[in-house]
A and B are shown apart, each in its own frame.
Chain A
Amino acid sequence: MRGSPPTSALRLVLRGVSHAYRDLTVLDDISLDIPPGEVTVLVGPSGCGKSTLLGIMGGLLAPARGEVLCEGAVAEDCLNPLTYVFQEFSLLPWRTVAGNVSLVLENRLPREARRTRVEEVLRIAGLTEFARAWPRQLSGGMRQRVGIARALAVRPACLLMDEPLSALDAQTRALLLDEFCELIERAGTTTVYVTHNLAEAVRLGHQIVVLSRRPGRVRHIARIERPIAGRAASDPDLLAIEAELWRMIRDDAAAADREAAGAPA
C-alpha cells in the first residue's frame, strides 16, 4: 500500500452518549474527544458496546441519549466524510472487485474519473491484478483489502473501522496490520478503530480508550505519542502498555464471559 492522496481530517466529539437495546443498557454516558488526524482505538471486553459506539459515531445507529458532533473542514473531493470499514467486509457478491469499489462512486463521479479513481485505490491496496475477480474467489485478507480500497475511494475525512482484522487468520492479520499502520500514518485521516486485540491497539493507537464491561463506560484513556510508522510488534514499551491494558480488562472480560454463559457474575 503506497502513495495515497492528501485527505481532510475531522474531529468528533461525543457528549453523554448512552444506548440501550430494550432494557439492556449497553453504553452509559460516554463523553469522548476524537482528535483530528489521530488514531483512536476503542478496546474493551466482549459485549461492552464498542461496535455500537462506532455505529453511533458514524450515524448508523441513533443513540438513546446524547449526541455526536463533528468539527472541521472537509476537502472538496471528499464524497463521504464518515466512512466505514466492516469486520465482515460487506462486499456485494454479484459485483467484481472493481465493481464493488465503483459502487460508492456511481452518480458521484463521471465515468472516466471513476475509472481512474478505482484504478488508483486498487493500486494502493495492492489489488490491481484482482480488479475483475469475484469476491468469492478472494481470501479474507484480499476481501478486506477491497473494503479498504472502497473506503479510500470516497476520500474520507474520518475512517471508522469495526474490527477490520477480526475475521482473518493470525498470519493475514499480522500482514494486514503492517499495511494499515503505513497507510493510516501516511493518509493522516482521523481514524476510530474498534478491536478486542490489544496488540493491534498499541501498534495503531495514538489514543486508546478502554471501555468497561456492559454497560460500557470510559474506564481509562491511554496515549502513545510515538509515530505509528516507528512502532514494532516487539517494542518492549508497547508490550508494557499492552500488559497494563490487559490487566485493566482481564477481570471485566472474565466477568463478561461468565455473564454471556448465563452464570451469575
Chain B
Amino acid sequence: MRRLDGRVPFRGGGFSPRALPGTAAATLIGLVLLWQAGASAGLIPTLFLPPPAAIAVALYQLAISGELWRHLGASLQRLAIGWSLGTVAGLAVGLAVGLFSVARAPGMAVVSALFPIPKIALVPLFIIWFGIGEGSKDATLAFGVFFPTVISTAAGIDAVPRGLIRMAQSFSLPFWSIVGKVILPGALPAILSGFRVTASIAIILLVAAEMIGAERGIGAFVLSAGNLYDTDNLLAGIVMLSLLGLALSWVIGRLERALLGWR
C-alpha cells in the first residue's frame, strides 16, 4: 500500500492544437532573412542560389519592363481556360456518376483507367491533336483537372447523408429540386476541397506544358532563364509560381468561407 495525498495534478486536455498568431508569417520572414544573411556572409554561392534581394530586384525589373505581365498574363489565361474546361466537364460527369447508377460503373471504369496516366506524357500527343499553340496547353490542363474533379464530385455526392435525401423524398420534392437543394449543397464541401487539389495540379501542368513548346508564360520564362544560367530571373519566375499558388488558395479559401459559412 502507498499513500496518495495532496492536490490532483492536471494531466492534460487532449493534445488540442492552439492557434499561435503571427508564427506562420514570422517563420517565412525568418527563413528569407536567414537566406539573405547566408548569401551576404558568402556562405551561399549566389550563382547557384541568388539571395532574396537579387530576386526582388529581378522581379522589379521584370515588372517595369512589362515582361512579367506578358508571361503572367499568358499563364493566367491558360490556367483560366484549361481549369474551367476541365472543371465544368468534371462536374458534369461527376454529377452523372454520383446520381445515376447506369453512369456509375462505366464512368468510374474510364476514370480509373485514365486517371493514373501522367498527363505530361500526353503533351506531345495534344500538340499533334491541337497544334503547338494554346489548344494543346488548354487541353493538357483541362485533362489533368477533369479526373480529380469527377472523383471529388462523385465522392461528395456519395457523402450526402441518405437521411436528408429520404426526407426530401418524403416531402415529395421533385428530382431536380432534390439535386439542387439537397445533393449539390451537401456535396459542395468535397467539391471545393477538390478545387484545392485541381488548382495545384493545374499549376504543375501549366509549367510543364509551357516548357515543352511556348514562347510566353512563366514556364517558358523559367526554362529560358535556366538555359542562360540567369538564376536571378529563374528564381523570380519560381517566386511568381509560389505567389500564384498562394493567390489561388486564398481565392478558394474565400469561396469556402462564403459558401460554407453554415459549418
Contacts and interface: CB of A to CB of B under 8 A. Distances in A.
* B interface, over-half SS: helix
Contacts of A246: none
A95 B167 CA distance: 14
B173 A60 contact: no
A95 B174 CA distance: 19
B177 A107 contact: yes
Given A94-B185, A107-B177, A88 B163 contact: yes
Nearest to B169: A60
A104 B171 contact: yes
B170 interface: yes
A60 B166 contact: yes
B164 to A, nearest CB: 6
Contacts of B262: 93-95, 134, 136
B182 interface: yes
The bracket for how many chain A residues form the interface is 20 to 34
A58 B163 CA distance: 15
Interface string B92-103: 000000000000
A92 B167 CA distance: 10
B185 A84 contact: no
Contacts of A95: 262
A154 B185 contact: no
B172 A80 contact: yes
A79 to B, nearest CB: 8
B167 A86 contact: yes
Given A60-B166, A104-B171, A92 B182 contact: yes
Contacts of B169: 60
Contact of B166 (A90, A103, A134): A90
Given A60-B170, A80-B171, A104-B171, A86 B181 contact: no
B185 A92 contact: yes
A206 to B, nearest CB: 24
Interface string A136-165: 100000000000001000100000000000
Contact of B177 (A82, A84, A92, A106): A106
A92 B164 contact: yes
Contact of B181 (A90, A93, A103, A136): A103
Nearest to B170: A84
Interface string B163-191: 11011111111100100011001101000
Contacts of B164: 90, 92
A143 to B, nearest CB: 13
B163 A104 contact: no
Nearest to A58: B170
Contacts of A90: 163-164, 166-167
A106 B167 CA distance: 15
Nearest to A61: B166
Interface in A64-120: 80, 82-84, 86, 88, 90, 92-95, 103-104, 106-107
Most-contacted residue by chain B among A80, A83, A94, A95 (CB, 10 A): A94
Most-contacted residue by chain B among A93, A107, A136, A154 (CB, 10 A): A93
A61 to B, nearest CB: 10
Given A60-B166, A134-B262, A83 B185 contact: no
Interface of B: 163-164, 166-174, 177, 181-182, 185-186, 188, 260, 262-263
Question: Sorted from nearest, which 5 A-B pairs have the closest CB atoms?
Answer: A90-B167, A94-B262, A104-B171, A84-B170, A94-B185
Given A60-B170, A80-B171, 13 more contacts: A60-B169, A82-B170, A83-B170, A83-B171, A88-B163, A90-B163, A92-B185, A94-B185, A95-B262, A103-B168, A104-B173, A136-B263, A150-B171
20 contacts: A80-B170, A80-B171, A83-B170, A84-B167, A86-B167, A90-B163, A90-B164, A92-B164, A93-B262, A93-B263, A94-B188, A94-B260, A95-B262, A103-B171, A103-B181, A106-B181, A107-B174, A134-B262, A136-B262, A150-B171
Interface of A: 58, 60, 80, 82-84, 86, 88, 90, 92-95, 103-104, 106-107, 134, 136, 150, 154
